[in-house]
A and B are shown apart, each in its own frame.
Chain A
Amino acid sequence: MAEEQKQEFWRWPESNWKNPELDWRTSTFIAVGIDVGSVSSQAVIVTDGEILAYGNMRTGFDSPNSARNAYKFALDAIGMPEERMNYCIGTGYGRVNVPFANRTLTEIACHARGATFIYGPGVRTVLDVGGQDIKSIQCDEKGKVTNFLMNDKCAAGTGRGMEVFADLLGVPITEVGDRSFEFKGEEPPAVSSACVVYAKAEATGLMRKGWTREEVLAAYCKAMADRIFSLVERGGVKPGFAVTGGMAKNRGVMDRLMKKIGIERMQTLWDTQIAGAVGAALFAYAMCLKAEGGRRKSEG
């Protein structure tokens, strides 16, 4: 049976990066954080408290492989052998499936720690909008979690929900944000249901009524922003508002959300998807230092 080749509109670009100012050959410790999420997996390599390299990929059906692939992707960027690593912490939904991790930590702790690194120590509220859940985390200046709330029951407002929607409308997911502002006249009202399944049906109806793709995108981004807002509101907002996860790259949802919250969100040049793995790597680096301190003490 001949099947039409279908473009995968949900597919976002995978990437790896190396820090040009650091060299693993001269590093004392190599600490690694692996965040295996439901949709994406990241590996971050930290040395001397700085990010040396990272890899960001889509999670496959097999979590242990996803962890290894992300790590290899990061290693590719710097040409470092796998065994050079001193300590590794796994985090995220699939954290128990990181075969080479020395230990695991919850993604709540890692996102808070990672956000205070990539956004700076002024962060007090971290909103993580990931593939499968939304977390609102409060933290202190060291990135220590003081409180958090989470919604992991419903795809409304999550990255996975947005992927489904991008596919339905045939709009590449990286363009959704910008295109959701390309409508004429007044901003369309939000679709009436946040549920991805119902919103899909409603969107099809709106298109038949003559709405443009951009108008439907605007209505859906608004509904997702409203949905995320309800969680943020319950968790409480403190200035120093940082967003992590893939959704931070979608200004269609983020601009509408921040308008509703009424403050500006913090800005970063780092990839917001790596925050969890950065946190894990920093914790791993702290473990290296602690072990070294212990060794010196016993020798000293």
Chain B
Amino acid sequence: MITAGIDCGAKNTKTVIMQDGKIIGKGMVLTGFDQAKAVEDSLVLAVQHAGIIRKDIQRIFGTGSGKDAITAAEDTVDDIKAMARGARYFFANARTVADVGFEEGRAVKLDEQGNAVDFAINEKCAAGAGAFIEAMSRVLEVTIAEMGPLSLQSGRDIPMNAQCVVFAESEVVDLIHSRTSKADISKTIHDSIASRIVSMIRRIGINEDVALIGGVGHNEGFMDSMAKQLKVNTIYVPEDPEFGSAVGAAVSAAESK
């Protein structure tokens, strides 16, 4: 059976195509202001990548903040279920799953069967989401891809007083003016957002294994800060973490009758 999961997020729209439990195609485009177009474009990309034709897809499920724009979807999956299903697809023992997207941070606690027993969401404040890192990278004039490796070079703990992105920007400017290295500032930035995410996870409690999905999973600097603050050895991250929820939707589509 071939299914597709489409995750229409605040920043990117992702499509995953699965056949009999295996991922066979992926497509990702910027969501921009036209969600319907982004959904269509990402689906076309994924179909090409899978080397199938559109009609081969038997069922499509949608998820993400723009899920209502996914007209091709037969049904929608709520964000919590999608992230849990997606993470468990990669890591069958995951009991705590964090999803750090561009505008939202979420954490869900799972029982042994993978059912959600509790969750926490931050959707009000950019300080606990990927938007924070992006804004800081602009101030620091370093690409997001460079920030991760840079911060791993730093051994210093410089606390960030501000939580809010707007105030943190001024604080980063102050650090630059006082000639703090970009490595040290990068670490400060990652420590800061990690502490927002970790405090959200603590609210629901931490059970190992801990898994993380969402684009921030690419950032090894952030992952290092988060693992240290959570006091765990490993946080499991799939290869393409931004597709986590789309995988969850595709899995849900395959499971439904």
Are these two chains actual partners, yes or no? yes
- Chain A residues packing against B (C-beta within 8 Å): 38, 61, 132, 153-155, 160-161, 164, 193-198, 201, 204-205, 208-209
Interface size class, chain B: 10 to 19
Residue of A nearest to B165 (CB): A197
Q: Write 11 A-B pairs (CB below 8 A) sorted by A numbering.
A: A38-B170, A61-B177, A155-B165, A155-B166, A196-B126, A196-B165, A197-B135, A197-B165, A198-B126, A201-B10, A201-B103
- Chain B residues packing against A (C-beta within 8 Å): 10, 33, 103, 124-126, 131-132, 135, 163-167, 170, 173-174, 177
Q: B81: shortest Cβ distance to chain A, in Å?
A: 24
> Which residues of B have CB within 8 Å of A201?
10, 103
Could you tell me if B33 and A160 are in contact, using CB atoms closer than 8 angstroms?
no
Please, how many angstroms separate the alpha-carbon atoms of A164 and B10 in the complex?
Answer: 21
> Which residues of A have CB within 8 Å of B166?
155, 160-161, 164, 196-197
Q: B103: shortest Cβ distance to chain A, in Å?
A: 6
Could you tell me if B124 and A193 are in contact, using CB atoms closer than 8 angstroms?
yes
Known: A193-B124, A197-B126. A153 touches B177 (CB 8 A): no
Could you tell me if A153 and B33 are in contact, using CB atoms closer than 8 angstroms?
no
Could you tell me if A153 and B164 are in contact, using CB atoms closer than 8 angstroms?
yes
Could you tell me if A195 and B125 are in contact, using CB atoms closer than 8 angstroms?
yes
> Which residues of A have CB within 8 Å of B125?
154, 195
Known: A193-B124, A195-B126. A160 touches B167 (CB 8 A): yes
Q: Which 7 A-B pairs have the closest CB atoms?
A: A155-B166, A197-B126, A155-B164, A197-B165, A154-B164, A153-B163, A196-B166
* Chain B contact residues, majority secondary structure: helix
Q: B177: shortest Cβ distance to chain A, in Å?
A: 6
Q: B200: shortest Cβ distance to chain A, in Å?
A: 15
Cross-chain contact of B163 among A154, A161, A198, A204 (Cβ < 8 A): A154
Please, how many angstroms separate the alpha-carbon atoms of A240 and B84 in the complex?
Answer: 53
Please, how many angstroms separate the alpha-carbon atoms of A132 and B161 in the complex?
Answer: 13
Q: A198: shortest Cβ distance to chain B, in Å?
A: 6
Known: A153-B164, A164-B166. A197 touches B131 (CB 8 A): yes
Residue of B nearest to A164 (CB): B166
Could you tell me if A205 and B126 are in contact, using CB atoms closer than 8 angstroms?
no
Please, how many angstroms separate the alpha-carbon atoms of A153 and B168 in the complex?
Answer: 10
Q: Given known contacts A160-B166, A196-B126, what 4 new A-B pairs fall within 8 Å (CB)?
A: A38-B170, A164-B166, A195-B125, A198-B126
> Which residues of A have CB within 8 Å of B174?
61
Please, how many angstroms separate the alpha-carbon atoms of A92 and B152 in the complex?
Answer: 37
> Which residues of B have CB within 8 Å of A204?
33
Please, how many angstroms separate the alpha-carbon atoms of A154 and B103 in the complex?
Answer: 16
Residue of A nearest to B174 (CB): A61
Please, how many angstroms separate the alpha-carbon atoms of A161 and B164 in the complex?
Answer: 10
> Which residues of A have CB within 8 Å of B103?
198, 201
Please, how many angstroms separate the alpha-carbon atoms of A196 and B135 in the complex?
Answer: 12
Please, how many angstroms separate the alpha-carbon atoms of A160 and B131 in the complex?
Answer: 18
> Which residues of A have CB within 8 Å of B163?
153-154
> Which residues of B have CB within 8 Å of A61?
173-174, 177
Please, how many angstroms separate the alpha-carbon atoms of A160 and B126 in the complex?
Answer: 16
Please, how many angstroms separate the alpha-carbon atoms of A23 and B60 in the complex?
Answer: 80
Could you tell me if B167 and A205 are in contact, using CB atoms closer than 8 angstroms?
no
Could you tell me if A132 and B167 are in contact, using CB atoms closer than 8 angstroms?
yes
Please, how many angstroms separate the alpha-carbon atoms of A201 and B103 in the complex?
Answer: 10
Q: B105: shortest Cβ distance to chain A, in Å?
A: 13
Please, how many angstroms separate the alpha-carbon atoms of A201 and B31 in the complex?
Answer: 12
Could you tell me if B33 and A208 are in contact, using CB atoms closer than 8 angstroms?
yes
Could you tell me if A155 and B124 are in contact, using CB atoms closer than 8 angstroms?
no
Please, how many angstroms separate the alpha-carbon atoms of A292 and B41 in the complex?
Answer: 79
User: Interface centre among B33, B135, B163, B166, by most A CB within 10 Å?
Assistant: B166
Please, how many angstroms separate the alpha-carbon atoms of A2 and B10 in the complex?
Answer: 33
Residue of B nearest to A156 (CB): B164
